[in-house]
Structure 1
Amino acid sequence: MTSNTDNNLAMNAGLDLTALQKHIRAVYRADDRPWVIGYSGGKDSTCALQLIWGAVRALPEDERRKPIFVLSSDTLVETPVIVNYIDDTLAAINAAAEDQKMPITAQKVVPEISDSFWVNLIGRGYPAPSKRFRWCTERLKIDPANAFIKNRVAEYGEVVMVLGVRSSESATRAQVMSLHKIDGTALSRHSTLPGAFVFTPIEAFSVDDVWAFLLQNQSPWGSDNRDLLAMYRNAQAGECPLVVDKQTESCGNSRFGCWVCTVVTKDKAMEAMVDNGEEWLEPLLDLRDELAATQDPQRKREFRDFRRRNGSVTFVGDAETPIPGPYLFDYRKEILRKLLEAQKLVNEKAPPGEKTALIQDEELREIRRLWRSEQGDWGDAVSEIVKETTGRELPVDGSDSYEFQARDAEVLADVCNTHELPPRLLAQLLEAERSVRGLKRRTLIHRKIAGILEKEWREEGEVLDERKERLDQRKLDVSPDPLFETKT
């Protein structure tokens, strides 16, 4: 029996899709390595998944023996429209796979809470990502996907990554795709993951080929690809691929991706969505633009500490001002408040079914822990801000409880004021002692105390004055040229 999909394959001008599906089946049956299909919800990965689904479904049921994992990466800061679309699609894929007896399971991977965007930016004070300090991609995209792949390699020995990437998308991508090709096979070696191979079935497709296929072939899991086209038109967007190595280009310019992305000058996709009727997303665009403004070299000192996260102060060459460190604690509190306010506004204006959480409770609790241990925030600013902006209590359990409370912070401040000591210094020493309480071996406490005492605890003005004095003294200490010495 011939399916509608098979009948439509020949309609795609310029490509022999019948031969391509035959090729996909040959690669699928060539070995016992399971497949992991990277699915971002965009046009390219959707096209690749539909092609593979159609090819494998044409096999007798007893030959569909190899598992196929559909893997989607959620950074926890994706545009809400995309998150909801992908969640609905993954559910539809799993339901259709079970109904059609396909060896396919779909799931999302997310970053570890300690690696999430808001825990790093608000909790640790990491500045908004830039081209020079793009700390987000590895933590939010590469590590979660690679952890899943490594687990499958440990389980099966080897896996094949199926990626919906095209060589025509960029010269860089074409070069990367050809670099690791294995002669005589359709596979490439993964650039960083041992035991992982890469298969790119739509490598030769153009953008027109992708859309022609999607609009002429019905989705096997019941989605309407015209909805996907409408989403692209509204956002004027490209697609963010599943990123599994540093060579794969991440998102930028007008691509769908993280709504907080400050690597690009403007988020054209988000702006286009707002202009095309998604006004409820405007608070996200405003907050993203505010974070981008903190990268202005003339304004960095408004938002960032003069110390690094390790407590040191770093100067370059003969500069009188240090390299900026993490966001100031007060500014982090301001960003948390604005984020929760944006979340409230978005959910008040969102269409039915589009409500979203911009930050998870698990992230809030991790930020709370970091602020207490690193900032001496015994007054629990996170819980206060959550209560003031949302009207609800932040859920905590026994492991989230702390011995030191707001009243203790007041006592500590009075003692430190009397003895002219920084309250954070004493707070960190007390937290260090509390963290090793009950351990049989307490050698760790000595290293912790030494690390705390080695930090720069003086005020900024005092540090900069000392720096200027040293630079001035260095100029005076320069020996005169012997050729011009005056002899007596």
Structure 2
Amino acid sequence: MKAQRAAGTIEALYDEAQELYLADNRPWVLGFSGGKDSTCTLQVIWTAISRLPVEQRQKPVYVISSDTLVETPVIVNYIDETLARINQAALDQGLPFRTHKVVPRVDRSFWVNMIGRGYPAPSRRFRWCTERLKIEPANEFILDRVAEFGEVIMVLGVRSAESATRAQVMSFHRIKGSRLSNHSSLNNAFVYSPIEAFSTDAVWGYLLQNASPWGNDNRDLVAMYRNAQSGECPLVVDTTTPSCGNSRFGCWVCTVVTKDKAMEAMIDSGQDWMTPLLEYRDMLASTQDPVRKRQVRDYRRRTGQVSFKADSDDIIPGPYTLDFCRELLTKLLQAQKEVQRESPPGETPLLIHEEELHAIRRIWRQERGDWQDSVPGIVRAELGDIVNWITDDAVTYSHADGELLQNICHENGVPVELVARLLDIERSTHGMKRRHAVHSRIEDVLAEDWRSREDVIAERREMLAGTGVAYGADEGVSAC
């Protein structure tokens, strides 16, 4: 009797999906992460639409998958193979499914922000990665479809059983008298959550009792979860989506959680070639330790100003120093060499892309005073001559020039970075007939705080003493 009720519920869900699909011309955008919930959702929608007459299967269903470019290599391969099967099966079966992988723009990628600009490893207090790596790429695709069609319907594998907060958010945005909800942040985008009432057991029950229509084996998915001992990372389209820091289907560099139990479980289950990834991730996590922060992060913010905790002489640290960023790049390339050497046959995991290396080089040269042009040298030392570096035709400074500048600045008590930044402004406008905004750029640099860390703290303590506020020793620093 229970099985009959469950079957009846599924049939009703198919009918509901068909009714919504045929109700209007708004295209559907289905978020697919490769995990159990999104796989179950896609199977439900696939089955419902496949039961319609061929002439009624006209409205496109875009299946989008988000690749942050720092996904666990095993998952990248699994997703790529699955998307290829979905495309081929849709073509063979005459179904309107089209797959798309969305990725962050190069200048917004994880490595360009962390190694290039010096953003610290993400934490619960400063989770800068989600917006740039997940929300923006997915929303750009959705907005492109909105511009093309006027409105779209997002089909998501979210479930109210995930958490009380998630259930409350889903209820809040629900359109009265409809199975659709308003998107939390995008106008003209609506959300359909076909499996929102499913429990975890119901999801697995459906997947194991219904074969994948595009040729995957859902038992492999069960094995992946069992090996990782963890959950999935859904397609993130807004800030209400829960964190996937503990997740099997998340980023291998995630430092939002203290320990990556999923990665550890994967290595324990036989994927020991991924050990360098875990070691690198743990190294990033260690930089969140208060003592370590002081060693690897600048005492000034990216604005060039110094910030303190309220009523304290504890400096709020800024970005990673350029020296530490050089170390991060070196160790990342070493990890890439090791995982490529030890990975299973046919797999060549790429941890950082060539476009990202060019972007990091540009930022170091133009924004961080890297006169020695470190990136090409680091890449050659670790990987050989595999990158065709662009020659800078403008006035350039050599490593010897940098050493000379350091000596002169040291003799005259002038910050090296200050003079380097001013010279870089001059270099960037060299040969121009109209040196537009050069004076304002110089003023901005001079307005930054160029005092030493010790001088800044001394002034702060003097100010606090004048106000009668007690302060402690400058031992720890807070997260950004």
TM bin (shorter chain)? over 0.9
1:139/1:400 CA distance change after superposition, 3 Å: farther
Distance 2:429 2:134 in 1: 34
Q: 2:142 aligns with which of 135, 140, 149?
A: 149
Distance 1:59 1:221 in 2: 17
Q: Determine the structure 1 residue equivalent to 2:311.
A: 318
Segment drifting more, 73-82 vs 366-375: 366-375
Distance 2:81 2:232 in 1: 18
The aligned amino acid for 2:114 is L
Q: 1:463 aligns with which of 456, 465, 473?
A: 456
Does the residue aligned with 2:273 lie in a helix, a strand or coil?
A: helix
Distance 2:82 2:157 in 1: 17
Q: Determine the structure 2 residue equivalent to 1:185.
A: 178
Contact kept, 8 Å, 1:36 with 1:160, in 2: the verdict is: yes
Q: 2:73 aligns with which of 63, 72, 80?
A: 80
Q: Determine the structure 2 residue equivalent to 1:275.
A: 268
Q: Determine the structure 1 residue equivalent to 2:376.
A: 383
1:295 has 2:258 as partner: no
Contact kept, 8 Å, 2:248 with 2:263, in 1: the verdict is: no
Q: Determine the structure 2 residue equivalent to 1:50.
A: 43
Contact kept, 8 Å, 2:65 with 2:235, in 1: the verdict is: yes
The alpha carbon displacement at 1:182 in A equals 0.9
Contact kept, 8 Å, 2:231 with 2:248, in 1: the verdict is: yes
The alpha carbon displacement at 1:116 in A equals 0.9
1:429/1:343 CA distance change after superposition, 3 Å: same
1:401/1:20 CA distance change after superposition, 3 Å: farther
1:197 has 2:161 as partner: no
Q: 1:59 aligns with which of 45, 52, 62?
A: 52
1:175/1:475 CA distance change after superposition, 3 Å: closer
The alpha carbon displacement at 1:237 in A equals 1.6
Distance 2:386 2:402 in 1: 21
Contact kept, 8 Å, 1:432 with 1:448, in 2: the verdict is: yes
Segment drifting more, 24-33 vs 282-291: 282-291
Segment drifting more, 371-380 vs 265-274: 371-380
Q: Determine the structure 2 residue equivalent to 1:453.
A: 446
Q: 1:90 aligns with which of 69, 83, 87?
A: 83
Q: 1:20 aligns with which of 5, 13, 23?
A: 13
Contact kept, 8 Å, 1:33 with 1:160, in 2: the verdict is: yes
1:321/1:183 CA distance change after superposition, 3 Å: closer
Contact kept, 8 Å, 1:241 with 1:250, in 2: the verdict is: no
1:128 has 2:126 as partner: no
Q: 2:359 aligns with which of 357, 366, 370?
A: 366
1:415/1:100 CA distance change after superposition, 3 Å: same
Sequence identity, in percent?
60
Q: Determine the structure 1 residue equivalent to 2:279.
A: 286
Contact kept, 8 Å, 2:394 with 2:427, in 1: the verdict is: no
Aligned length: 467
Distance 2:241 2:342 in 1: 36
1:56-76 C-alpha deviation (Å, 9 max, x unpaired): 111111111101100000111
Q: 2:63 aligns with which of 59, 70, 75?
A: 70
The alpha carbon displacement at 1:107 in A equals 1.2
Distance 2:196 2:114 in 1: 37
Q: Determine the structure 1 residue equivalent to 2:233.
A: 240
1:95/1:439 CA distance change after superposition, 3 Å: farther
1:167/1:317 CA distance change after superposition, 3 Å: closer
Superposition TM-score, scaled by structure 1 size: 0.91
Distance 1:208 1:475 in 2: 61
1:299/1:414 CA distance change after superposition, 3 Å: closer
Contact kept, 8 Å, 2:394 with 2:430, in 1: the verdict is: no
Distance 1:277 1:410 in 2: 49
Distance 1:48 1:470 in 2: 60
User: Which runs of no fewer than 5 residues in structure 1 stay unpaired?
Assistant: 1-9, 477-488
Q: Determine the structure 2 residue equivalent to 1:5.
A: none
Distance 2:27 2:291 in 1: 52
1:276/1:440 CA distance change after superposition, 3 Å: same
Matches within 5 A, 1:413-424: 413-424=406-417
Contact kept, 8 Å, 1:308 with 1:324, in 2: the verdict is: yes
Q: Determine the structure 1 residue equivalent to 2:251.
A: 258
The aligned amino acid for 1:160 is I
1:175-232 C-alpha deviation (Å, 9 max, x unpaired): 1111111122211010100010000011111111111111121111111111111111
Distance 1:169 1:94 in 2: 30
The alpha carbon displacement at 1:395 in A equals 2.4
The aligned amino acid for 2:226 is R
The alpha carbon displacement at 1:162 in A equals 0.2
Contact kept, 8 Å, 2:123 with 2:255, in 1: the verdict is: yes
The CA RMSD over aligned residues, in Å, is 2.0
Contact kept, 8 Å, 1:369 with 1:400, in 2: the verdict is: no
Distance 1:28 1:204 in 2: 20
User: Which runs of no fewer than 5 residues in structure 2 stay unpaired?
Assistant: 470-480
1:319/1:64 CA distance change after superposition, 3 Å: same
Does the residue aligned with 1:69 lie in a helix, a strand or coil?
A: strand
1:227-259 C-alpha deviation (Å, 9 max, x unpaired): 111111100121111111111112133442011
The alpha carbon displacement at 1:140 in A equals 0.6
1:433 has 2:426 as partner: yes
Segment drifting more, 134-143 vs 371-380: 371-380
The alpha carbon displacement at 1:100 in A equals 1.4
Distance 1:99 1:23 in 2: 25
Matches within 5 A, 1:386-405: 386-397=379-390, 403-405=396-398
Give the number of the structure whose alpha-carbon radius of gyration is greater.
1
